Amino acid sequence: MTPPGHEWTPQRDVEFSAGDEHALALAYRSFAPLIFTVALRSLGDRSAAADVTQEVFVRAWRFRSGYSPDAGSLPAWLLGISRNLVSDAQAARQKIDSLVQRVHTVGGPREQERGADEIESVANRVVLNSELELLGEPQQSILRLAFYEDLTHQQISSRLDLPLGTVKSHIRRSLTQLRSRLETWNATP
């Protein structure tokens, strides 16, 4: 699978907003898996996630006049639309749930708020994971060991047989880069 970002350049943002259908196809190719995965993990249902994915791209295309490449990248905009749609889908589901078991509903609005945080963190995780893949080697292996296996710099250095200084500079540079990538994805134009 093509991780997002490989093919997508700022020039594509401009082409999309200018109404180039090829740019829409390329946007789908680059970002549909990420958007589908965020929806799938938030809703836990492939068919609901497919509906959200379809609606994200349909809306993005129909309302492309509301998108400005100067204000942010297209993937960030798409992710913003999908957050809203996922949140709507969850709210609709909760409404049905609460109608069904209206006696036991506890704090509807608070539940919904937690839902928004939840989508946010699912989106962050999925984005981070795909950005990790873009780091290349050995950065990706180093960061995965630090994140998921909780190894120290020293342990990573001996595990991968890399000088400690190299591990340190990869970690600090990759962390900074991932932070700025997350900011880019979360910037809502």
Partner 1 sequence: MQHLDPGTLSMAALDEPLDTDSQVHLDGCDACASEVRELNGVVLAARGDITAAPLESPDSQVWAAIHQELGLQPALSTDPLTSPSPVQDATPVSELSQLRAEKRTFTPKFLIAAVTAGVLTGAGAVWAVQQVRAEAAPDLVAQSQLDPLAGFTAGGSASVFTSDDGVRTLQITVTEDQADGYQEVWLIAPDLQQMYSLGVIGGGTSSLVIPDNVDLVAFPIVDVSDEPLDGDPLHSGVSVLRGTLEAEVG
CB of 148 to partner 1, least distance (A): 6
Spatial distance between the Cα atoms of 110 and 77, rounded to a whole number of angstroms = 26
Give 22 or 95: the residue with its C-beta nearer to partner 1. Answer: 22
**Pick from 24, 34, 32: nearest CA to 132:** 34
Question: Token pair of 155, please?
Answer: 């342990």
Single-letter amino acid code for the residue at 24 = L
Q: If you search the block for the tokens 């990869």, which residue do you land on?
A: 170
Tokens 């994200």 locate to 56
- Dihedral sign of CA atoms 176, 181, 182, 184 in order: positive
What is the closest distance, in whole angstroms, from the C-beta atom of residue 164 to partner 1 in the complex?
Answer: 7
**Tokens representing 183?**
């900011």
Our CB check for partner 1 shows the closer of 76 and 101 to be 76
Minimum distance from residue 106 beta carbon to partner 1 (Å): 25
Interface with partner 1 (CB under 8 A) = 1, 3, 6-7, 9, 11-12, 21-26, 28-29, 32-34, 36-37, 40, 49-50, 53-54, 57-58, 61-62, 121, 124-126, 128-130, 132, 134-139, 143-144, 146-148, 152-153, 162-166, 168-179, 182
- 8/34 Cα distance (integer angstroms): 14
Nearer CB in complex with partner 1: 95/183: 183
Kindly state the smallest distance separating residue 69's Cβ from partner 1, in Å: 16
Q: Quick one: which H or E segment has residue 43?
A: helix 21-43
Minimum distance between the CB of residue 118 and partner 1, rounded to whole angstroms?
Answer: 11
Task: Rank residues 54 and 105 by Cβ distance to partner 1 and give the closer one.
Answer: 54
Helix, coil or strand: residue 1: coil
Between 93 and 153, name the residue whose CB sits nearer to partner 1: 153
- DSSP one-letter code for 135: T
